[in-house]
Amino acid sequence: MGSITDYDFRTFSAALEGEGGDATRAWLQAETQGFHEPRLGEKSLVRAAAAMVSDGQMLTGAYARTRPEASLGAEVPVATFATFERSINVGGVAPLPAHLISAVTVRPTHRRNGILREMMTTDLDRAVADRYAIAALTVSEATIYRRFGFGVATTVHSISVATDQRFRLLTSPRGRCELIDAREIATLGPAIFAGFHASRVGSVDRHTKYWGRVSGLDGEKSEEDPSVRGALHYDDAGVIDGYVTYKFSGWESDPQIVEVVDLVAQNADAYLGLWQFLASLDLVGTVTYAAAPADDPLRWALADWRLVSVKNVNDWLWMRILDVVAAFEARGYVNDGSTVFAVSDPLGHAAGGYRMRVEGGRAEVTRDDAAAPDLELDASALGSVYLGGADPRVLAAAGQISERSPGAAAAFARLLAPAQQPYGITHF
């Protein structure tokens, strides 16, 4: 068992050249190892580093002060942690800048020495100093981040859709689809995604690396993935308003399967139109999509409701409130009302009593530690209810919210009710 004093922690900007460039390359090799990805070749290293530079990513590495002979070099960190800023649509007048955390790995031979705790607590202190109201991440395991005040804020449905001759929509979506070279999505995708991001509460703006991944330019084996195919959706005026990229899973399965890599639709016609396109693919009987919305119109649009089966409901975005007043005043509301809630937070950032009054879609939140709270919750539950993705009544039933006045959870649920189920399609 080691100790946290066995390591030097260094935080630096991702760079392409010089000392910073060398540190970035060694950091990237450590990160890929942590996620069981192949060692990066020169071309992939340059692409990955360039993407991180363009996103202004800050990288933290933990460096072992001593190491056994012939083990990985001293320049290779035993732990990695990356942060960058992207906005989240919280339903307010403008998307809210968020502190995003990614690429968290600790080498198996150094795990459970408190390295993650050290990197996370230092980083969240820094995010608070930089005046971020919210932090967010997407996770590999659902048991790690609650202790740091993160809670599940949005979910996705992993669905499988039978696209054989039974597939028939009850409606005719407007517009049309056409195939493209999927690599074009690296160029066309950002503008199409921007339309989705602006209109959907819960959406996280995407970082540069995303476009390589969803277009097949950067495949899983750190090389181009030529099996990724793509199609665009055009509205009646010929304006592009959606796309899908997808992969054929091989001839071995029966029926043959197509897996959606990425599906971005700016409106319901584009969404259903892209599904109609997927269902029209010959020699394919099933289409799978790992990130469908909970309020999916597809099932309702189908003549046969049973063609869609939900394989799993997965946690997606985990949110951490760093500044309660700023975060709740930034989001949008559909109902008026008021409440007093008390937050417990082992890291301190969100701790305290808060009085919230909502009128005309805007909230006024003030710190009030003296007032008796209507309900109490911890920072993780607060992150879960923030966008309206988790219902406070359900969290109360799960023992994650304590009512101090009768009906307080129902009143909180009404106050935080979202205009639309929060949903995002960005994993980072």
Ligand X SMILES: CC(=O)SCCNC(=O)CCNC(=O)[C@H](O)C(C)(C)COP(=O)(O)OP(=O)(O)OC[C@H]1O[C@@H](n2cnc3c(N)ncnc32)[C@H](O)[C@@H]1OP(=O)(O)O
- Cβ proximity of 68 and 253 under 8 Å: no
Ligand-binding annotation for 39, yes or no, is no
Half-sphere exposure of 91 (CA within 13 A, CB side): 24
DSSP assignment letter at 256: -
List the interface residues with ligand X, window 141-200 (CB under 6 A): 141, 143-144, 147
Closer to ligand X at the Cβ: 125 or 368?
125
Q: Please name the amino acid found at residue 234.
A: Y
Chosen residue from 10, 39, 67, 112 binding ligand X by CB under 6 A: 112
- What is the SS3 assignment for 159? strand
Instruction: Verify binding: residue 139, ligand X, rule CB under 6 A.
Output: yes
Alpha helices in 143-248 (DSSP H): 185-199, 208-215
* DSSP code string of 286-343: EEEEEEE-TT-HHHHHBSSGGGEEEEEEEE--EEEES-HHHHHHHS--SS-EEEEEEE
Task: Specify the stretch interacting with ligand X by CB under 6 A; choose among 102-110, 284-292, 319-327, 401-409.
Answer: 102-110
- Torsion sign across C-alpha atoms 172, 174, 180, 186: negative
User: In which residue are the tokens 């995708």 written?
Assistant: 189
The percent of the chain in helix, strand and coil, each rounded to the nearest 5, is 30, 30, 40
Chosen residue from 28, 103, 228, 308 binding ligand X by CB under 6 A: 103
- Cβ proximity of 230 and 250 under 8 Å: no
Q: How far is the CB of 5 from ligand X (least distance, A)?
A: 14
Ligand-binding annotation for 72, yes or no, is no
Instruction: Verify binding: residue 64, ligand X, rule CB under 6 A.
Output: no
**Residues in contact with ligand X, shown as a per-residue x/- string from 247 to 286 under the rule CB under 6 A:** ----------------------------------------
Determine whether 428 is an active site residue.
Answer: yes
- What is the SS3 assignment for 373? coil
Ligand-binding annotation for 60, yes or no, is no
Chosen residue from 29, 57, 60, 102 binding ligand X by CB under 6 A: 102
Ligand-binding annotation for 71, yes or no, is no
Q: How far is the CB of 91 from ligand X (least distance, A)?
A: 24
Closer to ligand X at the Cβ: 35 or 300?
35
Name the CA radius of gyration of the chain, rounded: 23
Chosen residue from 58, 111, 234, 344 binding ligand X by CB under 6 A: 111
Instruction: Verify binding: residue 43, ligand X, rule CB under 6 A.
Output: no
Determine whether 412 is an active site residue.
Answer: no
**Residues in contact with ligand X, shown as a per-residue x/- string from 339 to 378 under the rule CB under 6 A:** ----------------------------------------
Q: Applying CB under 6 A, what is the total number of residues that bind ligand X?
A: 21
Q: How far is the CB of 35 from ligand X (least distance, A)?
A: 6
Sequence-distant (6+) residues with CB within 8 A of 151 are: 318, 319, 320, 379, 380, 381, 382, 383, 384, 385, 386, 390
Which entry of 7, 132, 145, 246 is annotated as an active-site residue?
A: 145
Instruction: Verify binding: residue 106, ligand X, rule CB under 6 A.
Output: yes
Sequence-distant (6+) residues with CB within 8 A of 1 are: 112, 113
Q: Enumerate the β-bridge partners of residue 99.
A: 85, 135
- Going by the annotation, the residues of the binding site are 104-106, 112-117, 140-141
Where does this chain bind ligand X (CB under 6 A)? Answer: 34, 101-106, 111-117, 137, 139-141, 143-144, 147
Active site residues: 145, 428
- Going by the annotation, the residues of the binding site for acetyl-CoA are 104-106, 112-117, 140-141
